[in-house]
Amino acid sequence: MAGTADLKETARIEAFSDGVFAIAITLLVLELRVPLTQPAPLLPELLRLWPDYVAYLVSFVFILIMWVNHHWMFQHIVRSDQALMLLNGLLLLGITVVPFPTRIVALYLSTPNQSVAAAIYSGWFCLIAIFFNLVWLYASRGGRLLSREDAASGLAEVITRRYRLGPAAYFVAFLLAFAWAPASLALNLLLAIFFALPREFKLPARPRRT
């Protein structure tokens, strides 16, 4: 059973992580370039920057989904220790860097460098998905940092199996980048939407901890 101090501890990790997620998702806008074409018509120039908008959208939805899942994962993690803080820090490192590959893919998607750019982009998402799994595996292995009921219920195994999909799916997107870069980006978007949609499997499974 988790004491008050433990819950306060995870609350602070959550609050700090929420802050990092919120800032990273908002900083993405700084990568949207405004073209400087004083005499020429503005609209065609803006439309030519479509890779910026697609990259923005995919990265935004990706960080949002990661936040939703992070938040939900920490409804099951009720204790904290040093290793969890470090693994969570690794995950946050991954999230804060997202604007960087976003800029890369936006700049190079319509150039001969598009495969490298898309591979870096999808590869980075794959890495983040791995970090996410590390946090969960560390916390849930043997029910280490879960509540007693969660540890006993077998829910952890269901979640573990589900989360494992992430790295695999993003690895496919990574490989796809070398075949056709836009398809890799499109798969990223599809994955974000897919991970956004269904999550009802857990709600009936057990009452949430209050």
Which residues of the shown chain bind a copy of itself in the complex (CB under 8 A)?
3-5, 8, 12, 15-16, 18-30, 32, 34, 36-39, 41-43, 46, 56-57, 60-61, 64, 67-68, 71, 82, 85-86, 89, 92-93, 96-100, 103-104, 107-108, 111-113, 116-117, 120, 196-197, 199-200, 207-210
Least separation in angstroms between CB 8 and a copy of itself: 7
Nearer to a copy of itself, 94 or 166 (CB): 94
Nearer to a copy of itself, 13 or 186 (CB): 13
Note the Cα 103 to chain centre separation in Å: 17
Query: Measuring CA to CA, how many Å separate 96 from each of 1, 17, 48?
Result: 33, 11, 27
Least Cα distance to 55 among 24, 91, 29, 92 occurs for 29
Please give the torsion angle defined by the CA atoms of residues 161, 166, 168 and 173, in that order, rounded to the nearest 10 degrees. Answer: 160
Q: Burial code of 191-208, b = ≥16 C-beta within 10 A, e = fewer? A: bbeebeeeeeeeeeeeee
User: Given the structure tokens 């800029």, which residue do they identify?
Assistant: 103
Least separation in angstroms between CB 79 and a copy of itself: 12
Least separation in angstroms between CB 157 and a copy of itself: 22
Nearer to a copy of itself, 20 or 159 (CB): 20
Least separation in angstroms between CB 148 and a copy of itself: 18
